[in-house]
Amino acid sequence: MPKGDASKGEIKTPSCRFCHGSNGIAPQPSYPNLAGQQPQYLYDAMLAYTNDMRKGPMASMMKGQLQNLSTQDLADIAAYYSEMK
């Protein structure tokens, strides 16, 4: 995983907050909270969606959100949410 930059991650997450909350606490019980999560796990989970390693109702939506992002983008987004308290 590239070294993530949380300040850049914030810029790269305009749509994430609708499901995961602007504070990283999901407004919906079936969406995960992201605030304070392990950055490596967040990065691996996002990659899993882009690599079709996750199936299910949210999987295609998440893939659509993430597939055009670079691994650096994903690392920045992971840093942004993991550093949220």
Which residues here bind a copy of itself, judged by CB under 8 A? 26, 28-33, 36-41, 44-45, 48, 53-56, 59
Q: How far is the CB of 25 from a copy of itself (least distance, A)?
A: 9
Q: How far is the CB of 55 from a copy of itself (least distance, A)?
A: 4
Distance of CA 69 to the CA centre of its chain: 11
Buried residues in 46-72 as b, exposed as e (16+ CB within 10 A): bbebbeeebeeeeeeebbebbeeeeee
Q: How far is the CB of 28 from a copy of itself (least distance, A)?
A: 8
Whose Cβ is closer to a copy of itself: residue 43's or residue 73's? Answer: 43
